Structures are given as structure tokens and as C-alpha cells.
Amino acid sequence: MIKNFKFWTGFFIIFGLIASSIIFSVFFDSHVRQVQVLYDENMTPIEAAPFEPSFMFPLGTDPLGYDTAGKVLQGAKFTLISVIVIGILRVIFSFAVAIPLAFYMPEKIRKGLDQLLSSFYFIPLTIIAIFILSPILKEQIKIPEMEEYFIYSFAERIGLEIIILTLLVVPLLGSMIGNMMASTLKEDFIEGANVLGASRMRIFKKHVMPHLLPKLIIVWCQQCVQVLIIFTHLGYFKLFFGGTDIDFNPFWRDPPKSLSNEWSGLVGNYYTYIQGNPAIALGPIIMFGIAIYAFQLMAEGFQRHLETRKVKGFKQAKRTKRQEDAVEASGKFQFLQNRGA
């Protein structure tokens, strides 16, 4: 059992957001209240939408009077679940790529491949994501008939977005996990197992996996953070998760709409109010910040847990303070270096 305050804080923030969002949609049918004018007891109007954040509207309302907090709550499940799914897929795919890299390649070829894959460091992810996802997510228009359409259906759009956001990082992440695996394979106990005649499969299952799995959880948390950041970027460029509804009416255009109130849509819709009415614009972005912080807390707490856990069955000798500090420092170092190089 993980005994770490940070980890559980992060976990409960994410879990709480998703759970409350699902409860909101099941029991209240995701009904977002709309208040356009506030009256006092004598029925004289005292305030009109948009409202500033207050006790009544924790995140304020948008100009039409819809409660931003309600919208955020409604969208939380779409955003967070898709982030978690993309994070898991990224790790699984990269893991699948990493296995042949670490097990079947000679050291030299692996280093070479690593070099090749690191060319992806120079391709900025957001720009490519915007570029590839635009034709999928933006509503198109047929010129002569003025008919609006999407190239793909709703399910296909979501599927494609998840696949593309996954595949874009697989080269880098795959080589990173491959390096992690290869460094595990160089440990002394693997050599021992080899001498004793363990097969590759056994080494993989009994020795590499227990070592790697906890690290993969940390990698997963980092990937979730990265996906969240890409979602804010895509939202700013009006590419919303699951498709952007664009109004092609030539005379009075509605702004692009998100189909499900997921958070990147809210960011995209509200960012224009940043100068005039900052409260509206900041709400959804702050929610992204909270989610990112939660994932980071999880990663850090888990890291901490790995360093201080007791191995089952062995009573560990009490370490001196100095040793513990050294372990902590080296653990942190490894983790950040993996992220960097």
C-alpha cells in the first residue's frame, strides 16, 4: 500500500473530478444553470451576466449567463478520461516498441537507433498536432451547396485524435523506455539469472518487469501532464476534443463551439475575454492547472514511495540519514534525466 500523502492528494483530486462529473451527468442530466439577471427582494435587477466569481458562481458565468463551474464539471469526465486513456496508450505503445529495442538489438544498433529517434526532438509537438488534427476536427463546408460536414464521424474523430496524439510521441518515449530497460538488463542480478540459465522470457517476467512497472507509472503521470498541456494549446487554436462546430453563416457568425463542453473547448471559447473579463477566461485554464498539479503530485508521491518502501519479507537495516539522502538524490536525478535526455 502506498503511504504517501502527495500521491493520494493528487489521486483524489483527479478521481473526485471524474466521479463528480459522472454523478452530475447521471443524476442531474448535466444541466447547466443559466442566470441572466439577478434581482433583489423588490424584483429590481441588480446585476446582469457575466457575473464575477462569487459564492454563488465559483468560477463566474459567461456572457450568456451559463455557470462556468457547471460547464467545467460537465466537461471534466471527457477531458480527464481521454487524458488518462491517451497517457496509458502512449506508455503501452512505447513499451511495445521498447521491448525489441532492449532485448534483441545489439548495443551498437540500439545506440544508433536512439540517435535517429532523437531527431524527433526538433519537431515541436503542438505545431504538428495542430497541423494534422485541423482537417479532422474542423467542420468543413462544401462550397456550392453550403452544406456543413465533418470528414469523419464523431467516434472516428475521437479515435483518430487519440491515435494521433499517441503515435506522435511513441518514437521518443519508446527509445526512452528502451534505454530504461537496457540499463536494467545491465544490472548484476540479471547476469546472475543468466548464469543460472534463465530464459529471456523468464528474465523479462521475473526481473525486468517488477523493476520497470513502477517507473512506467511515473512516466504515465508525466505523459498525462503533457497531454493536458497539448489540450490547452489545441483549445486555444479552436481544435476541440471530438470536433469543432463552426458556423459558416456569412452574416452573423457564432463563434466555434465545442460539442461537449470539454475543457479545451472552454479554454478556446473563453480566451478572447481575457482583456475585458479575465475571470471568465481564467476559470477553465485554472482547472487545467489543477489537473496538471494533481498528476505531478501523483508522480512525485509515487517516486517518493519507491525510494522509501520496504521490500516484502526482508527487514531492512535502518539506514543512516546520510544514505537516505544519497538514495533520494540519485533517484530524483535518474528520473529527471530520463525526462530530459
Contact residues for another protein (CB under 8 A)? 115-116, 118-128, 130-132, 134-136, 151, 160, 225, 228-229, 232-233, 236-237, 267, 271, 274-275, 278, 281-282, 285-286, 288-289, 292-293, 295-297, 300, 325-326, 329-330, 332-333, 336-337, 339-341
Under 8 Å between Cβ of 178 and 102? yes
Task: Please report how many Cα atoms fall inside a 13 Å half-sphere around the Cα of residue 274, on the Cβ side.
Answer: 10
Least distance in Å: CB of 293 to another protein?
4
Indicate the residue among 32 and 297 with the shorter CB distance to another protein.
297
- Expressed in angstroms, the distance from the first to the final Cα of the chain is 31
User: What does the DSSP assignment read for 189-201?
Assistant: HHHHHHHTT--HH
Indicate the residue among 15 and 121 with the shorter CB distance to another protein.
121
Least distance in Å: CB of 279 to another protein?
11
Would strands 45-48 and 37-39 be described as parallel, antiparallel, or unpaired?
Answer: antiparallel
Least distance in Å: CB of 312 to another protein?
29
Least distance in Å: CB of 135 to another protein?
5
Least distance in Å: CB of 124 to another protein?
4
Residue 142, H or E segment? strand 140-142
Alpha-carbon torsion (314, 320, 321, 323), positive or negative: negative
Residue 244 forms beta bridges with which residues?
138, 258
Question: C-alpha cell of 120?
Answer: 524527433
Least distance in Å: CB of 26 to another protein?
29
Indicate the residue among 152 and 204 with the shorter CB distance to another protein.
152
Return the C-alpha torsion angle 245, 247, 253, 255, nearest 10: 10
Residue 37 forms beta bridges with which residues?
48
CA 168/CA 129 separation, integer angstroms: 8
Q: Can you give the C-alpha Rg of the chain in angstroms? A: 24
Task: Fill in the DSSP letter of residue 206.
Answer: I
Least distance in Å: CB of 75 to another protein?
16
